[in-house]
C-alpha cells in the first residue's frame, strides 16, 4: 500500500462516496424493476378480482339486459342504476338520463363485438366486451349533456355510433321518476 498525499486522499474519498451512491441507485432501480416484474407476473397468473360474465347471445331473451330493463332505474336506497347495450351500430337507449348529486352505476355490455363506452368530459371510459358486464360508478355534480361516442373500432358504422348522457337536476329527476320503472331521456 502506498502513502497518498492529502490532496489525493480527498479525491479518493470523493470517488468512494460516488461509487457508493451509484451502487445504491442501481440497487434501487433493480428492486423497482423486480417488484414491477413480480406484480406483472402475479396479475398475469391470477384471475381478476371481479369479473361478471353474461351470455352475449341471449342478452335480448332474458336477464338483466332485456330491452324492457334497459335505461335508468332508481334503486330502493336512492342510488341510480343505468343499464345499456352497445351494439353494431348504436347504443340502447341512445340517451341516458341521470340525476345530479346521486351515486350512479352504469352497467353495460355488448351482444356482438367490442365497443367503447366513453362519456366525454368525465373520466368514464371502458370497453364493452361481449360476454362481460362493464360496471362503472359515477357521480355528476352539474346538469348538462355529455356526448358518449363509441371509441373502439367496431366496423363500418363505427363513426356513427354514439349516444348522449343527459344530467338533470336531482329534484327534477325525482319528479320525473315518480311511478316509473325505467327511464330514458324521452321521459
Ligand atoms: Cu361501436 Cu365503435
Question: Quick check: is 173 in a domain?
Answer: yes
Ligand 1 closest atom vs CA 150: 2
CA of 93 from ligand 1 middle (Å) equals: 15
For residue 161, the enclosing domain spans 67-177
Instruction: Give the residues across from 125 on adjacent strands.
Output: 118
Q: Are residues 121 and 42 in the same domain?
A: no
Confidence of residue 24 (pLDDT cuts 50, 70, 90): very high
- Reported pTM: 0.75
Calculate what percentage of the chain has a pLDDT beyond 70.
96
Cell of 171: 329534484
Give residue 67's pLDDT: 92
CA of 157 from ligand 1 middle (Å) equals: 7
Q: Are residues 42 and 72 in the same domain?
A: no
CA of 152 from ligand 1 middle (Å) equals: 5
HSE of 34 in the Cβ direction (CA atoms, 13 Å)? Answer: 6
Q: Are residues 158 and 115 in the same domain?
A: yes
Give yes or no for residue 118 CB within 6 A of ligand 1: no
Give residue 3's pLDDT: 60
* 161 compared with 3, residue with greater pLDDT: 161
CA–CA separation, 46 and 14 (whole Å):
48
CA–CA separation, 102 and 172 (whole Å):
13
Give yes or no for residue 128 CB within 6 A of ligand 1: no
Question: Quick check: is 62 in a domain?
Answer: no
Mean pLDDT across 119-123: 95
Q: Are residues 90 and 23 in the same domain?
A: no
Q: Are residues 40 and 73 in the same domain?
A: no
Q: Are residues 73 and 118 in the same domain?
A: yes
Q: Are residues 36 and 73 in the same domain?
A: no
Cell of 140: 355528476
Give yes or no for residue 108 CB within 6 A of ligand 1: no
Question: Quick check: is 4 in a domain?
Answer: yes
Cell of 134: 362493464
Give yes or no for residue 150 CB within 6 A of ligand 1: yes
Number of domains in the chain: 2
Q: Are residues 36 and 84 in the same domain?
A: no
In the chain, where does DSSP find H-type helix? 6-45, 170-177
Q: Are residues 85 and 159 in the same domain?
A: yes
At 88-109, the pLDDT tens digits run 999 999 999 999 999 999 999 9
Ligand 1 closest atom vs CA 151: 2
Average pLDDT, the chain: 92
Question: Quick check: is 52 in a domain?
Answer: no
Question: Quick check: is 54 in a domain?
Answer: no
Q: Are residues 99 and 130 in the same domain?
A: yes
| Residue 53 DSSP code | B
Question: Quick check: is 88 in a domain?
Answer: yes
Give yes or no for residue 161 CB within 6 A of ligand 1: yes
Q: Are residues 166 and 112 in the same domain?
A: yes
CA of 59 from ligand 1 middle (Å) equals: 18
Q: Are residues 23 and 84 in the same domain?
A: no
Give yes or no for residue 154 CB within 6 A of ligand 1: yes
Amino acid at each position: 500500500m502506498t502513502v497518498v498525499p492529502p490532496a489525493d486522499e480527498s479525491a479518493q474519498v470523493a470517488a468512494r462516496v460516488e461509487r457508493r451512491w451509484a451502487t445504491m441507485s442501481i440497487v434501487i432501480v433493480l428492486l423497482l424493476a423486480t417488484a414491477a416484474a413480480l406484480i406483472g407476473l402475479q396479475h398475469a397468473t391470477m384471475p381478476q378480482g371481479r369479473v361478471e360474465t353474461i351470455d352475449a347471445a341471449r342478452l335480448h331473451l332474458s336477464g338483466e339486459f332485456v330491452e324492457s330493463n334497459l335505461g335508468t332505474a332508481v334503486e330502493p336506497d336512492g342510488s341510480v342504476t343505468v343499464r345499456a347495450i352497445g351494439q353494431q351500430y348504436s347504443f340502447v337507449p341512445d340517451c341516458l338520463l341521470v340525476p345530479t348529486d346521486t351515486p350512479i352505476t352504469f352497467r353495460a355490455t355488448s351482444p356482438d363485438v367490442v365497443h367503447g363506452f366513453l362519456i366525454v368530459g368525465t373520466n368514464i371510459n371502458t370497453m364493452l366486451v361481449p360476454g362481460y358486464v362493464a360496471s362503472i360508478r359515477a357521480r355528476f355534480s352539474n346538469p348538462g349533456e355529455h356526448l358518449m361516442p363509441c371509441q373502439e373500432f367496431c366496423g363500418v358504422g363505427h363513426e356513427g355510433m354514439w349516444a348522449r348522457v343527459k344530467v338533470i337536476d336531482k329534484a327534477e329527476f325525482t319528479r320525473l321518476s315518480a311511478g316509473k320503472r325505467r327511464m330514458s331521456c324521452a321521459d
